Amino acid sequence: MKIVVTGVNGQLGHDVVKELLKKNHVVIGTDRNTLDISNEENVQAYIEEIKPDAVVHCAAYTNVDAAEEDQDTAYRVNTLGAKYLAQAAKKIGSKMVLVSTDYVFDGTERQPYEVDHPTKPLGVYGSTKLAGEEELKKNLEAYFIVRTAWVFGINGNNFVNTMLRLGKERGELGVVHDQIGSPTYTVDLASFIAELVESDQYGVYHATNSGVCSWYEFAVEIFKQAGLEVKVNQLTSDQFPRPAERPKYSVLSKKKIIEQGFTPLRDWKEALSAYLDEKRLYE
């Protein structure tokens, strides 16, 4: 297959390109210089010229706090970008994968969110991503929506890197313990997306590594696996105020992955170990 991947310079886009190339697909990775997803004419012309069999849309405005102030940019990238790509894909008969987020939910549940659970975003980031999902559904039938959470990968900034840096600098830090979710290694997520795009089992999927933890528990495990002596103190979300409210509980049910016969993502602790090994190769 010939596949266009947006957001090639991001954590997930980087690994999706690597995974698809490993599976012998023809892959065209794009960044904002080669493809401005917020420009309708640019998107139509680019997709028309390349004529891919599939588009994997990883590019997004992901600065959750900045989105509260910069609503226009978040909307243009997250909502209009998905719309324009879906319309262009429809025109040439291409399928499309949209990577979405746990932030489409408000985090008030206490059991994993199913793919058909009612959505209720808390802020601009979640709202614009959800609107992007709606645009995709409206404009294209051959689509996959993959909601994920707590992403970490080699090609960018993430919680693991931040913890390692702060741990080395300080030796003691505070991390919130009242936000619960599932970390996701981009290598594992990319593998699932590659499996998905090769199929025609369209619809909405939830994909994270298996297992559940708080940010505090995640930090403790990072330091344990990295062999760092760091004292981690538990904080509440109220003690660590941010411009955008975070969902307190964002565990996503992976039931559909199993039901559709795809490979479930491994436990997050195993994934963290693999990521730390990968990091060592680059150091």
Known catalytic residue: 125? yes
Long-range contacts of 70-78 (CB under 8 A, 24+ apart): 71/124, 71/128, 74/124, 74/125, 74/128, 75/128, 75/131, 76/38, 77/37, 77/38, 77/128, 78/125, 78/128, 78/129, 78/131, 78/132
d(CA 275, CA 283): 13
What is Dmax (Cα atoms) for the chain?
A: 56
Q: Which of 125, 205, 216, 249 is catalytic?
A: 125
Look up residue 45 and give its two tokens: 């012309």
Which residues have a catalytic role annotated? Answer: 125
